[in-house]
Amino acid sequence: MTTSGPETRDREIARQMEHFEQVCRSAGVKLTHQRMEVFREVARSGHHPDAETIHRGVRSRLPTVSLDTVYRALWLLSDLGLITTLGPSRERTRFDANLRRHHHFVCVRCGLTRDFYSDAFDDLKLPHSVRALGRVETTQVEARGVCHECAQADSAKPATAKKKGKR
Ligand SMILES: [Zn+2]
Ligand SMILES: [Zn+2]
């Protein structure tokens, strides 16, 4: 099994940047260097970074950018539909530049969130009971579990440490 190589990844980001510029232009939003770098950072990461992680990445290229500016750019991009947010945790919203229909694998230990694709999940039929709650716009499946790295760290620990579950 292979994940997408660096070349296709670069092309994917270039395509996303183009889309970003188009959307900003047609919405009459100024294409500032800061907004571009914030978007590029979310697109590049592919790891669903939170605002502070994005800020750290952008600061390496634009040293004077503030976290506040990054937040404002993120919410603007989100309003424009260029990125989506995920996670229930309000204080640590994470951002996603992948606008292709996709689903998430989330590691419950370290929070790693990766995309996966499934035609079957895209066509998922929801029960009628959902309608009572509101109008559904999209359905995204979240598979929760333990990533390989966390699982490996677990098995490296002595057995006694594993015996007592937290719940
Ligand atoms: Zn993990
Ligand atoms: Zn995603």
CA–centroid distance, residue 94 to ligand 2 (Å):
10
Return the DSSP state at 50. Answer: B
- Check: CB of residue 87 under 8 Å from CB of residue 107: no
CA–centroid distance, residue 109 to ligand 1 (Å):
5
> Does 163 score more than 80 pLDDT?
no
**Mean of all residue pLDDT scores within the chain:** 87
> Does 124 score more than 70 pLDDT?
yes
> Does 89 score more than 90 pLDDT?
no
pLDDT of residue 137: 85
Around Cβ 121, how many Cβ atoms within 10 Å?
15
CA–centroid distance, residue 25 to ligand 2 (Å):
25
CA–centroid distance, residue 66 to ligand 1 (Å):
29
* Average pLDDT, integer, range 72-89: 86
Higher local confidence (pLDDT), 69 or 94: 69
> Does 91 score more than 70 pLDDT?
no
CA–centroid distance, residue 48 to ligand 1 (Å):
14
Q: What amino acid occupies position 36? A: M
The domain 1-99: what is its CATH number? 1.10.10.10
- Check: CB of residue 109 under 8 Å from CB of residue 96: no
Phi first, then psi, for residue 3 (nearest 5°) are: -95, 165
Ligand nearest to the CA of 145: 1
pLDDT of residue 93: 84
pLDDT of residue 1: 45
CA–centroid distance, residue 69 to ligand 1 (Å):
30
Ligand nearest to the CA of 109: 1
CA–centroid distance, residue 10 to ligand 1 (Å):
26
pLDDT digits (tens, 9 = 90+) for 5-43: 667 888 989 999 999 999 999 999 999 999 999 999 999
| For ion ligand 2, residues whose CB falls within 5 Å | 96, 98, 115
The domain 100-167: what is its CATH number? 3.30.1490.190
Confidence of residue 152 (pLDDT cuts 50, 70, 90): very high
pLDDT of residue 167: 47
pTM score: 0.68
CA–centroid distance, residue 144 to ligand 1 (Å):
10
pLDDT over 90, % of the chain:
59
Q: Where are the domains of the chain?
A: 1-99, 100-167
